[in-house]
Every structure is written in structure tokens, then in C-alpha cells.
Amino acid sequence: MNISAQYITVNNSKQNILTMLTDDDNPVLLIVHGGAGSPDRPLVQKYNYELANHYTVVCWDQRGCGFSYSNDELSIDLMLDDLKSVVEYLINKYNQNKIYIAGHSWGAYLGLRFASMYPEYVKYYVGTGQGISSIVDEIDKYNFVNNR
């Protein structure tokens, strides 16, 4: 298995991706981490490395996180633009028509929104820990803790 990390330019920002692969011709699976602010590449490398037998697995440290740390002011629109740039980069680099995207928590929110905006880039989207309403979720957690 080939594992490499590199910086790419994403909307005038230096951002890092980790790639795990066994065959350049495998379809691309982009992992969009949660947080925002909790890159998951160590977990993917430890628990999901076998995916690299079937996919070119890419872990992207989002702007402001992990190896892409910056103190940039963040917005959902900026994060979606960054995701679009990363996806376009991967489609071009690996000569793909579409890629797979797996998002967790915040990454699931971002991935789902991206997939609905740009279905032409997404072969399949998988969300885990998918939030529905952040406000309702926070209120439920607050009430749960206060009722203990």
C-alpha cells in the first residue's frame, strides 16, 4: 500500500491531504471529517486501511484543522467551496468522472450539502453521525444533561 501526504492549494489556502492506495485506477473515496476541527486520518489509517484495496482513500484536513491549520475566518460557503476544489482536484488527478464521498458528523453535513449542490461530482455519498438540526440537537443534549 502506498501512503502519502501532500499539501495542495485550495482557494488560496495550503491544505493537506493524506492518500492511501494500492492501485491508481481504483475509484476515489474522499473522507470528510467531523468537527469542524477533528481530522480523522489516524483513525482511518488504523481502522479503515483495508478500504485502500478497493479505493484510493483520501483524508482531507479541512481549512483550519490538523495539517491545514490556519486562523482563517470560516463560513459554510467557504468550506463548501474548499470541498468543491478538493473534489475537482481529485477528479482531475485520478482521471475520474465522479468520486465517492463519506462524511462523518460535521463532515456528513458538509458532504450531504455538497452532494445535493453538485451531484455531477458524486458517485455515492455516505453519511455517518449525520446531524439533522444542530439547534435541536444542542437543545436535546442540554436538556438531557440538566435532567440528570
Which CATH number is 55's domain given? 3.40.50.1820
Average pLDDT score over residue span 55-72: 95
Q: Which three cell numbers stand for residue 23?
A: 492501485
Counting the structural domains of the chain, the total is: 1
* Residue located via cell numbers 501512503: 3
User: What percent of the chain is modeled with pLDDT above 90?
Assistant: 79
The arithmetic mean of pLDDT across residues 6-14, rounded, is 97
Domain that includes residue 41, residue range: 2-146
- Give me the pLDDT at residue 129, please: 86
Contact 17, 44 (CB under 8 A): no
Compute the half-sphere exposure of residue 111: CA atoms within 13 Å on the CB side of its CA. Answer: 30
Mean pLDDT of the chain: 93
Q: Average pLDDT of 87-98?
A: 97
Cα–Cα dist 110/116, whole Å: 10
Cβ proximity of 32 and 44 under 8 Å: no
CB atoms within 10 A of CB 144: 9
- For residues 86 and 10, the answer to whether their CB atoms sit within 8 Å is yes
Q: At 138, is the pLDDT very low, low, confident or very high (cuts 50, 70, 90)?
A: confident
